[in-house]
Structure 1
């Protein structure tokens, strides 16, 4: 009995598992060379010729045009890691790919996928326990460790040449916006400026708004400024319904215009009465209102983004109001200085010298647009890890130390587990070796020698022993200051395990219609291998083939 449509494609059993595992491994392999302080970059060219040069795992995977559904599950691992922690995206994807590789060997030995999934879950739980037991406590007062964490997150990325300066700026920024119960890094605005060097980057304790004064006659700078933040417009209100005004003689038209002008002047007078020196408006400002504002010596900016309005209010201690009529004394913020300055050839408004900067701006500089973009990605990662460290208060040594320790402890744990699950736990332990092995490979070292040295140190009880990619030596990573948040590792293991288990449990792929893939251009799929329609690995992982020579 045929129950599927003519265009439907179905792949079952080991063919389906093999196809999905191959897709997952291909995704992991595409970012593996970017891992670690000596990881290489990728150049990604889109269909319109836009170029991105980066070694940030999640950015690479987002830019790649991936069609295969199983491959997209691995991409989701990197996105979850980015959202939860802000760093460790490549690690999570590489572990997921290696888990699939190890699982494929077990499937070939007739170990059932459900058994492998059960073993992987047990191993992941045990791994998280081991990491939590060995984590190092850090407090908000331990500024030196926070700077080292930010520096570690930026190592091997485009910002490495100035990572010491940027790490200091990142820590200052996160500590500035920290509330009693939470840290929202959205309150750290990042402004990119092409021109100068990365060393010229700075932290503004306040807000930099990418706007200019609306009128040239307004002052360039106001000190000790009262700041109003209005979400609406400084314009004559329009009627809620469509209306016509019939004018029968010139006097009526003049009266109508005079009335509008009077209304706009009253708006500005209300701001003057409340001693407002600067007004940021979310919508438009009428030309006549601009004239009166300039006459009153008030700096005004229009069409300011909602996010910037909130940052200005938070930074100055004011509130965002809907209109001038809603403005009360308590809604007005204060800034020691509001000025229009030239930065990298662009004029921007700087709101600085605020009493308690709960919203700050990182101004990132660089010689070219590609450099500034990559510095921004590195800084975003660093902001994430510093925030996570302050929230959790626990860190782990880097350099492949946690993975090596887990690999050894999970092998011991496997012996205490009965049944075939112990094979899966041993496979999980082997999979974790991919991190120190890849770090060594990317640094041009012998991966076997490096793994042997690491295991020897960990066998003797040195949990913090990790691989120094620069010297090739196994050293104490905690002493060296190479540390990262506990949650980077636990989240990576959790996400990678869940994705691998989900892919392994699929034994039937039913595609309704002909999915895009590696088939021939004329749509004739007769020569395709089983499951070729599901993204067609032969065609370069579906859309990945479109990246041309990028990989």
Structure 2
């Protein structure tokens, strides 16, 4: 990029910078984004396949989860990174539908490319897409079905839809039951659900069927002293955020000891102070102690003698879950220990799970924090199970909060596609073309479901569309029978928020990529002469990789 001025070229960009303009820049960005969508497309639906991702050090991840695939892939191209952001947003907001969001985004760009070739200006397309996305949100609210958070059967169906196509499907019944029980337990009275209060512990060994729910908290710690009881029924629990040990003097004090008796007296006093702390704990009536800080050896001995079950260095997050599960108060000072601060649980027990000692806090009266233990044959199975359960938990949580669902199996997309086409006719102008393109792009979902199941996508689309034209709004593709059926009756439902979020974030990303008509990429820094190490002196020369815009 240079201007001529009296025969003298003026360089504006650094030497070696590249600049791609106009149609080329758009083509390049759209191709990159479409490639990302193509990478996850085959994982969509009940018959979707999995991906095996191997990183630079040879670690293997086998997954069907769109966002996991995109996070694990090392994506360099800036436009492709935007598509990864779509998946991440979808995951943060609803936890499921990441593949759908990316696939719709890719298809929107593909349709836009066809319009660009017909010389429709990008701003016309982006305007039309925005109108269509807004209208789609309104149509979705129209076709949403209300649910009651107490409808367990429906919540199980929702969890099932989120797990479909992942390897967790084999024991779907069992896992859906666990997920629904967990979410309904931790839901607050106002209907909000914080999935953080459900702890998922992974353990290799056993089968998926051995997975269980703990109505309370599971802590990856063992008791501090072997003489302590392994099992405490009717537990009164003290949660302490203070060390059970001798307090060292704060000030740098020197103690001059001149005779052995003085030393002995000093040590006795230290022991007496620790015993004093333990006595306070015993006096409160607590028989279980979870301590966030340390418990020293003398204290362990006294606690064991008093028959108290104690663990130390419990994580802060676990302490917060214990507060929710047992109703205890987190005590931060030894002097504040009293009966009123204690929590209750029916049982506190140390058990071996998968060769490790763990502490179970169970039978809590109204636990607002629970744990799920996931078991499976191999590490990869357990990891993928955990991802499936995470998606299901989030999705059930979203439904309990929003109380709205839509049918699955490509039904809402087909319905939206029909309604947007009708809407496009009323708009007129060039925007009409963009809205029609948006409508056509949404059909990529039922189409991909059919393709992944080895069915003829065109036959299937025609059949589903025909059902919708007759007013059967909940009809979608049954990939096992290869025909259009009523998805609501079949129990294939998803939260409304999965769809609204997927369509809005896909449209935003597509619009953003379409508006770019110029890509200016800085050059990589040249190697400094004189054999200096790359990066120059203390990183003064070349920037570390990844800092420049090196595509």
Q: Determine if the TM-score, normalized by the shorter chain, exceeds 0.5.
A: yes
| Cross-structure match for 1:544 | none
Is 1:149 equivalent to 2:158 in the alignment?
yes
Q: SS of the counterpart of 1:16?
A: helix
Deviation at 1:18, TM superposition (A): 1.6
| Cross-structure match for 1:530 | none
| Cross-structure match for 2:435 | 425
Q: 2:241 aligns with which of 224, 228, 231?
A: 231
- Contact 1:515-1:534 at 8 Å conserved across structures: no
Q: 1:201 aligns with which of 201, 207, 211?
A: 211
- CA 1:372/1:294 → structure 2, altered by over 3 Å: closer, same or farther? same
Q: Cα RMSD between the aligned structures?
A: 1.8
Stretches of structure 2 lacking an aligned partner (at least 5 in a row): 1-9, 527-533, 535-547
- CA 1:255/1:488 → structure 2, altered by over 3 Å: closer, same or farther? same
Q: 1:23 aligns with which of 10, 15, 32?
A: 32
| Cross-structure match for 1:371 | 381
Is 1:44 equivalent to 2:53 in the alignment?
yes
| Cross-structure match for 1:134 | 143
- Contact 2:216-2:369 at 8 Å conserved across structures: yes
Query: Deviations along 1:419-471, whole A, 9 cap, x unmatched?
Result: 21111111111111110110001001111111111111111111111001111
- Contact 1:231-1:306 at 8 Å conserved across structures: no
Query: Deviations along 1:489-513, whole A, 9 cap, x unmatched?
Result: 0000001011111111111222334
- Contact 2:475-2:486 at 8 Å conserved across structures: yes
Q: 2:464 aligns with which of 445, 454, 477?
A: 454
| Cross-structure match for 1:343 | 353
Deviation at 1:256, TM superposition (A): 3.2
Is 1:494 equivalent to 2:498 in the alignment?
no
Deviation at 1:244, TM superposition (A): 5.4
| Cross-structure match for 2:44 | 35
Q: Equivalents in 1 of 2:20, 2:510: separation in Å?
A: 19
Is 1:263 equivalent to 2:282 in the alignment?
no
| Cross-structure match for 2:232 | 222
Query: Deviations along 1:349-375, whole A, 9 cap, x unmatched?
Result: 010111111111111111111111111
Q: SS of the counterpart of 1:159?
A: helix
Bigger shift: 215-224 or 244-253?
244-253
- Contact 2:351-2:357 at 8 Å conserved across structures: yes
Q: Equivalents in 2 of 1:515, 1:396: separation in Å?
A: 52
Is 1:254 equivalent to 2:264 in the alignment?
yes
Q: 1:393 aligns with which of 388, 397, 403?
A: 403
- CA 1:291/1:310 → structure 2, altered by over 3 Å: closer, same or farther? same
Q: Equivalents in 2 of 1:480, 1:255: separation in Å?
A: 78
Q: SS of the counterpart of 2:167?
A: coil
Is 1:290 equivalent to 2:333 in the alignment?
no
Matched pairs, number:
521
| Cross-structure match for 2:454 | 444
Deviation at 1:254, TM superposition (A): 3.0
Query: Deviations along 1:49-86, whole A, 9 cap, x unmatched?
Result: 11110000011111111122211111111111111111
Deviation at 1:239, TM superposition (A): 4.5
- Contact 1:68-1:534 at 8 Å conserved across structures: no
TM-score by length of 2: 0.91
Stretches of structure 1 lacking an aligned partner (at least 5 in a row): 517-522, 524-532, 537-551
- Contact 2:522-2:550 at 8 Å conserved across structures: no
Q: 1:168 aligns with which of 146, 159, 177?
A: 177
- CA 1:535/1:92 → structure 2, altered by over 3 Å: closer, same or farther? farther
Q: 1:307 aligns with which of 300, 317, 333?
A: 317
Q: Equivalents in 1 of 2:34, 2:249: separation in Å?
A: 61
Is 1:185 equivalent to 2:195 in the alignment?
yes
- Contact 2:476-2:485 at 8 Å conserved across structures: yes
| Cross-structure match for 1:102 | 111
Q: How does 1:480-491 map to 2 (within 5 A)?
A: 480-491=490-501
Runs of 4+ in 1 over 6 A off after TM superposition: none
Deviation at 1:248, TM superposition (A): 4.6
Is 1:273 equivalent to 2:279 in the alignment?
no
Q: Equivalents in 2 of 1:227, 1:160: separation in Å?
A: 38
Q: Equivalents in 1 of 2:469, 2:476: separation in Å?
A: 13
Is 1:408 equivalent to 2:413 in the alignment?
no
Is 1:318 equivalent to 2:333 in the alignment?
no
| Cross-structure match for 1:541 | none
Q: Equivalents in 1 of 2:522, 2:258: separation in Å?
A: 67
- Contact 2:124-2:430 at 8 Å conserved across structures: yes
